[in-house]
Amino acid sequence: MAVRMAAGMLAVALLTGAGSLAWWLSAERMGAAMGLGPPDGMVLVERCYEVSDSEGASDGTDCQGRFTPAGASADESRAVVVSGTTGRHRAGTRLPVRLVRGVAYERSSAPAMKYGIGAGMILVLGAVPAGWLLVGVRRGAVPEGMTLVVGLLIGLAAVAALGIVVGLLAGLVELAL
């Protein structure tokens, strides 16, 4: 009985931890990149450049510029990077942005998808082991370990496939606008 309670508590801890971590790492950034809420201010673009990941593959476009908070004067502007822009903007372009932890985001699907896929992966890595533990609690015996491995692989593949589909659809919508 004590082992079943411990497994149940561990499952709840896994779910709580995965949900909290996914929320903390992704929610604000996704909301900003999706354009939820009013803009925090405007960025006057100075230059844009291609960004690469650690393996050298293209990771989108970022822009540097001067951020002026909404309702403030130009004297209160400061340097900022706009992450994951919809493309290269010419110098002098004004972009409405939302700030999250010192990084600005214009309305763009690229960062929203990146953080959404990351949150999905974290949730799968918490939910599948929690479900595996809860099956063991219900049956009163430890399920096969291969069930956990297969569940993790299927869950991670589903998040990746869903991310690709959503990314393609979001890209088409951005092109249409």
Domain that holds residue 131: 2-31+111-176
Last residue of a domain, one of 57, 76, 106: 106
CA 8: distance to chain centroid? 29
- Counting residues of the chain whose pLDDT is more than 90, the rounded percentage is 49
pTM of the model: 0.79
Last residue of a domain, one of 80, 106, 132: 106
Least confident of 109-113, 117-121, 149-153: 109-113
Indicate the pairing of strand 41-52 with strand 58-69: antiparallel
Query: Are both 99 and 153 inside the same structural domain?
Result: no
**134 phi and psi angles, rounded to 5 deg:** -70, -30
Q: Give per-residue pLDDT as tens, 17-29.
A: 999 999 999 988 8
